[in-house]
Chains A and B, each alone.
Chain A
């Protein structure tokens, strides 16, 4: 909402500058987004009169004008083709710096010096949508009333600052200049001056009496000529109309045009301008029909029939349905209620009699219809937000006042008003103590009452002496006030939010602590960071095509996705069922920017659609996952020449993670079953608990097809672990065991093994055979190549022997060591040298 300071000043004499008022309004709840100074850049731009104009002797398209600028005549060359002798035009004199940044200096046009420039609307910085299409091109021709030599800003009314309000949904009452004036009056305590309403001496119905001729063409009074029926009272609570006759269509006065422009609207003609003016002034949209196009002068407010057709003002033929409310006559729909008028009943040059509509429509219905037809006008926006049903007659009478005052038409006496269930002003009970208790203030009852009265409310005390409690009657233009807490806000904002004491909550001390899952999650992040990975945050929704790029077959579990019905683009089409595609995208993006060392992780949710059919009844399952990806290789240093990241780099991260969370007993099971992973370089992590096998997650090299689909240059390795399971398995601290009191002995063994035997089998044999004597083991070498037969590899382990009750003898250790070797030979085909 834009309001010019002079318009506002008409109703309230506040005597503040625009900037001060803006600050004050903002601090009391009506946010002023901007104070617009429309005359910025219009210094040295004055009104000039074109005395003479002739073609440039040396250029076809240029004109040489002699312009009177109040300071004598000056010669200006222009390329515009719409300037004529006698026109008043905006003249930018040397020294001017126009809103578009253009600085004016004398210029020579093919031998003729030009001491300035004639300006177009656009060059003056005018908002194009407030300008008649005919005035958008060429030099802006000013009205004859403009005073030669005076600043053009004054001539165009641009010297008045405009407040741009950013209204919250509860204060749509301030889509009216008058209601903003009420706010200003309340916060400055300046008196409020209401605008004049029509009060013709004979503004009543003749009721077929003396004045009534009975002749249909004789407009003795509105009641006699207009019938209104509301069929669908749920969508239209009130409908009122007035007639104006002998319409004299023409332009509206300059002051009115300028006010409309200041509010961002385009002047059209005097009748339309008045209805728009009243809409901006009182907040109530009005619509003017050509009375003679309405069959039998009868207005019917009803739901549209399915398939009913109406050609609207913009010339479009629209097919309606029962969800749309229309204004109709007995024969046809004539307007889309509250949204747009019909073309057939439009006020035109031929219109003699105008029927002016003021009505109240159901906001939700208007909202739906406006969306359906894709049109949100100043009018429909007000209806959507809810207009004040009790302003309707005020709006009709105010329009009548302006119609008469400006001589636009003759006001036909009387009006018709169908209003079956009149609204009642809300009454809100309050207690001074409770309000102070809510605010933490100590404002006395009399002060509170004073604030409310300034806002137009009526206060009745139920205890006249104590000023402790009572009832406030709320004016109908403040439908947002329904309870005591709303009254409290009115007190708070007039008292001043900044004057409210600053305190901290009293009461019992509370413990601020993380839950176990929160602690585990935090630790997960820390381990990842300590492992050199960077956290990324990506969107929870993804493009469904990612599922194809991952190579997921139809019916794959991860294709049970939750879809977004109204995404902004396909990029946000489904909720992710796996984090990997996001990480692959991040890797691709970084790699395209020549980052070669990529180590990333994300802690986020994945979503699964339940097996039950659409549509979802319950919220779908969300599970938190820890996902990570390594690709490329660390930059070589002068000491280290690391190779590219592989499976074991990422496995080390998981091992570190498990160690940190004290999780034991995780099985690494080779798998070829995950379509997005290399079938020979992937593992499932499982844990046995209470006889059940639980899947903790997966790790593996990304499948070459997937790598190609994402256009990745390297061989990324990735993982995804279930955070909920990790949380369940994690322990805060390990179990204490006394340190060994006797020395331990280390023995190495190197063996040749068929390469099909996994290390886990070797270790299982060591553990089983070594029993309690083997305290721990470590693989310290793995070799394949020269001197090793094909299909074999060499593994070398260090075993630590330890007993808790004695020092082991060499014999004991040797015996145990040989037993393990024998078992390895027998069970996994190990050969020792």
Chain B
């Protein structure tokens, strides 16, 4: 009886002891706020020489019946404390990480490390855009020389010598028969000669051209993009449709075009093409001089004689051609008010595009 009493009281005592350790340890742990203290705590309670281990060492005095019960309790206390330890450790680590991150914050409004980015010239950008539009419509890009023969620049374009229309383009000459091309139209002939008799011919040709003009609105060198389509059954309506598609891609889907009869020696019928003003959309402003329209290109049906010069049969085939000034388009698109800026190459200007 006394043994049982004693036994019972021994088991009871250990149980109380364990519970006391648990409460004390848990209470102590709560107050800790750094990992070193937590480590000390762990050694003190859970370590090989810790309090919990010391209690368990006294289990030898327990009865066989009590031992597993007390053992289970002890394990439960250990597990409980380890769980608290883990939570505490995580909490402290989390807080420490937060503190570190906070101390590491930078001024995000400082400028980034400098890397240089260049830019293409606005004229090149416009030409690239024009190219992309026509590539999308199945055109090829053709090129020709800047120094050109009288034959390609004039004669084969139905501009014989002494033709009054030669006055429209005052030329820079190298010799009486060789000059700086005054337009990109010679590439029409060169391309037809190269491709004949292949059909269809569908090309655009961007490039530098030269005329003896130098004032606020004329530069002795400027850029044009020429277009040429030759095939069976090409109509004036096709020209209209093609230019409308181009203009709406270049200047916006709500642009309209207007064709006015005009004259170019290498096309007949010929048309000047206006677009509804990019500034006022047609209501009239300073840029369009109140008319609501801006002239942007010249066009027409390829003159039969030009087709013949190019080696194509004008009785079987028709074609259209158009030519536009890149400077004008760039100025309209970017709102540049002085053409000379395009050749001044001021870095502060170039940096804007």
Instruction: Enumerate chain A interface residues (CB-CB to B < 8 A).
Output: 26-29, 31, 168-172, 363-364, 367, 384-386, 437-441, 483, 485-486, 488-489, 492-493, 497-498, 500-515, 518, 522, 525, 528-541, 562-568, 572, 575, 586, 589-590, 593, 595, 597-601, 604-605, 607, 615-616, 619-620, 622, 634-635, 637-640, 642
Interface centre among A535, A586, A600 (most CB of B within 10 A): A535
Contact of B168 with A485 in the complex, beta carbons under 8 Å: no
Note all chain B residues with C-beta closer than 8 A to A522.
Answer: 128
CB distance from B190 to the nearest CB of A (A): 11
- Is residue B280 contacting chain A, with contact meaning CB distance below 8 A? no
Contact of B269 with A485 in the complex, beta carbons under 8 Å: yes
Note all chain A residues with C-beta closer than 8 A to B134.
Answer: 512
Interface centre among A536, A537, A601, A634 (most CB of B within 10 A): A537
| Cα A498 to Cα B237 with chains together (Å) | 10
Note all chain A residues with C-beta closer than 8 A to B119.
Answer: 529, 534-535
Contact of B149 with A169 in the complex, beta carbons under 8 Å: no
| Cα A565 to Cα B174 with chains together (Å) | 5
| Cα A485 to Cα B260 with chains together (Å) | 17
Q: Residues 234-270 of chain B: 1 if any A CB is under 8 Å from the residue's CB, otherwise 0?
A: 1111101110110000000000001111110100111
CB distance from B282 to the nearest CB of A (A): 14
Contact of B200 with A508 in the complex, beta carbons under 8 Å: yes
CB distance from B193 to the nearest CB of A (A): 14
- Once A363-B162, A530-B117 are accepted as A-B contacts, the answer to whether A572 and B220 lie under 8 Å apart by CB is yes
| Cα A640 to Cα B116 with chains together (Å) | 12
- Is residue B172 contacting chain A, with contact meaning CB distance below 8 A? yes
Task: For the A-B complex with A534-B347, A539-B343 known, give 12 more contacts whose Cβ atoms are closer than 8 Å.
Answer: A171-B263, A439-B235, A440-B235, A440-B237, A441-B237, A506-B238, A510-B140, A532-B117, A562-B174, A568-B214, A593-B346, A595-B348
Contact of B138 with A169 in the complex, beta carbons under 8 Å: no
- Once A169-B165, A507-B231, A638-B110 are accepted as A-B contacts, the answer to whether A572 and B172 lie under 8 Å apart by CB is yes
Contact of B208 with A540 in the complex, beta carbons under 8 Å: yes
Contact of A564 among B141, B174, B229 (CB under 8 A): B174
CB distance from A386 to the nearest CB of B (A): 7
Q: Please classify the interface of chain B as helix (H, G, I), strand (E, B), loop, or mixed, using the class held by over half of its residues.
A: mixed
| Cα A493 to Cα B268 with chains together (Å) | 12
Note all chain A residues with C-beta closer than 8 A to B120.
Answer: 525, 529, 535
Note all chain A residues with C-beta closer than 8 A to B221.
Answer: 539-541
| Cα A230 to Cα B244 with chains together (Å) | 55
Q: What are 17 A-B interface contacts by the 8 Å CB criterion?
A: A169-B167, A170-B263, A364-B161, A485-B304, A497-B260, A502-B237, A505-B202, A506-B238, A532-B118, A534-B351, A539-B343, A568-B214, A593-B348, A599-B116, A605-B146, A619-B145, A620-B174
Contact of A498 with B117 in the complex, beta carbons under 8 Å: no
Contact of A440 among B141, B238, B244 (CB under 8 A): B238
Contact of B260 among A27, A508, A528, A535 (CB under 8 A): A27
Note all chain B residues with C-beta closer than 8 A to A566.
Answer: 172-173, 212
Contact of A493 with B261 in the complex, beta carbons under 8 Å: yes
Which B116-165 residues sit within 8 Å CB-CB of chain A?
Answer: 116-121, 123-124, 128, 131, 134-141, 145-149, 161-165
CB < 8 Å A-B pair total: 261
Give the number of residues in B that approach A within 8 Å (Cβ atoms). Answer: 89
CB distance from B168 to the nearest CB of A (A): 7
| Cα A461 to Cα B167 with chains together (Å) | 39
Note all chain B residues with C-beta closer than 8 A to A367.
Answer: 162, 164
Contact of B146 with A634 in the complex, beta carbons under 8 Å: no
Contact of A619 with B148 in the complex, beta carbons under 8 Å: yes
Contact of A586 with B200 in the complex, beta carbons under 8 Å: no
Contact of B231 with A616 in the complex, beta carbons under 8 Å: no
Contact of B233 with A507 in the complex, beta carbons under 8 Å: yes
- Once A438-B301, A572-B220 are accepted as A-B contacts, the answer to whether A29 and B260 lie under 8 Å apart by CB is yes
Note all chain A residues with C-beta closer than 8 A to B141.
Answer: 514-515, 518
Contact of A29 with B262 in the complex, beta carbons under 8 Å: yes
- Once A28-B261, A440-B236 are accepted as A-B contacts, the answer to whether A564 and B180 lie under 8 Å apart by CB is yes
| Cα A538 to Cα B173 with chains together (Å) | 20
Contact of A531 with B174 in the complex, beta carbons under 8 Å: no
Contact of A498 with B258 in the complex, beta carbons under 8 Å: yes
Considering the complex, give the chain A residue whose CB is closest to the CB of B301: A438
Contact of A363 with B237 in the complex, beta carbons under 8 Å: no
Note all chain B residues with C-beta closer than 8 A to A595.
Answer: 346-348
Contact of B162 with A500 in the complex, beta carbons under 8 Å: no
Contact of B173 among A31, A518, A565, A589 (CB under 8 A): A565
- Once A514-B135, A537-B123, A566-B212 are accepted as A-B contacts, the answer to whether A634 and B116 lie under 8 Å apart by CB is yes
- Once A505-B231, A619-B149 are accepted as A-B contacts, the answer to whether A538 and B117 lie under 8 Å apart by CB is no
Contact of A590 with B347 in the complex, beta carbons under 8 Å: yes
Note all chain B residues with C-beta closer than 8 A to A620.
Answer: 147, 174
| Cα A28 to Cα B258 with chains together (Å) | 12
- Once A172-B164, A505-B229, A537-B124 are accepted as A-B contacts, the answer to whether A512 and B138 lie under 8 Å apart by CB is yes
Contact of B136 among A168, A171, A512, A541 (CB under 8 A): A512
Contact of A510 with B200 in the complex, beta carbons under 8 Å: yes
Contact of B233 with A513 in the complex, beta carbons under 8 Å: no
Contact of B113 with A639 in the complex, beta carbons under 8 Å: yes
| Cα A514 to Cα B132 with chains together (Å) | 10
- Is residue B9 contacting chain A, with contact meaning CB distance below 8 A? no
Contact of B242 with A536 in the complex, beta carbons under 8 Å: no
- Is residue B271 contacting chain A, with contact meaning CB distance below 8 A? yes
